[in-house]
Amino acid sequence: MTHLTIEPSILYVGTPVALLSTVNEDGTVNLAPMSSAWALGDVVVLGVGMTGQTAINLRSRPDVVINFPSPAQWEAVERIAGLTGRDPVPEHKQARFRFEREKFAAAGLTPVPAELVAPPRVAECLIQFEATVTHAELDAKGNFLIAQAEVLRVHAEQRIVVPGTSHVNPAAWSPLIYNFRHYFGLAEELGESFRTETPRKRV
C-alpha cells in the first residue's frame, strides 16, 4: 500500500446523520441535519456550528430530539441541508443557504409530540432520542458548540426491535451514513463483536 499525505477540507470518514429538532425563541420548531454525534453511555455528544439556529436554541432551551434517519430518508435530509433557521442569514452562509422557518414541511417530514421534552420527534425516523443538554462549551477554535445531551427516552420502531427486549436488531436497522459529503447506507454484515447483546444463532 502507498499512503499519501493529504489535506482534506472535511474529516467525515463515515458518520451517522442525525436530524436535531429544537425550539426557537418564538416557540416554533427548528429541524437541522448534522453528522457530528457520538454516544457515551446515556449521553450523546453533539457538535454544531456556533452561528446556526440549533446552537442558539441549545444554549437557551436545552431540550432536543435526536432523530436518526435511515437511508430511505436521504432526500428529505438533503432538502433541508441548504436551509437555515437564522433570519437574517449569517453573512458567511448567504451564498449557499436560504432562510426557512418551516423545516419539517420543506423536508416532507412529519412532526409528532415528544413525551418528555418540548421539541417534536420526526415520525419517519425509526430511532429517536429525547434528550436535554446538560453541558455545552465551545470547541478549541471557537467555531463549534460541543453539547452533551443526556438521553431521557428512546423510541424505536417496532420492526427493528428484538421482540420482548430493549435491543435494536442490527440486521433490521441501518443508519444513514455521511461519507465525505456523500450519503450511504450500511453494506452486508461482516461479523459481530464479542460484546454484542444480539448474537446470531450459530449452526
The amino acid sitting at 152 is L
Q: What is the pLDDT, as a whole number, of residue 63?
A: 98
DSSP label at residue 185? -
What average pLDDT does range 40-66 have in this prediction? 96
pLDDT tens-digit readout, 10-19: 999 999 999 9
C-alpha cell read off for 153: 427516552
137-142: long-range pairs with CB below 8 Å, 24+: 138/50, 139/47, 142/50
C-alpha cell read off for 52: 446556526
Global pTM value: 0.94
DSSP label at residue 161? B
State the residue for C-alpha cell 451517522.
16
pLDDT band at 139 (very low <50, low <70, confident <90, very high): very high
What average pLDDT does range 58-81 have in this prediction? 97
Q: Which residues of 177-193 are buried (b: 16+ CB within 10 A; e: fewer)?
A: bbeeeebbeeeeeeeee
Instruction: Give the residue from 24, 10, 16, 12 showing the smallest Cα distance to 52.
Output: 24
**Given a cut of 60, is residue 203 above it in pLDDT?**
no
Q: What is the pLDDT, as a whole number, of residue 96?
A: 87
Assess contact for 31 and 109: CB atoms under 8 A.
yes
> What is the C-alpha separation between 181 and 117, in angstroms, rounded?
31
pLDDT tens-digit readout, 149-189: 999 999 999 999 999 999 999 999 999 999 999 999 999 88
**Mean pLDDT, the chain, as a whole number?**
95
Percent of the chain topping pLDDT 90: 87
What average pLDDT does range 134-162 have in this prediction? 97
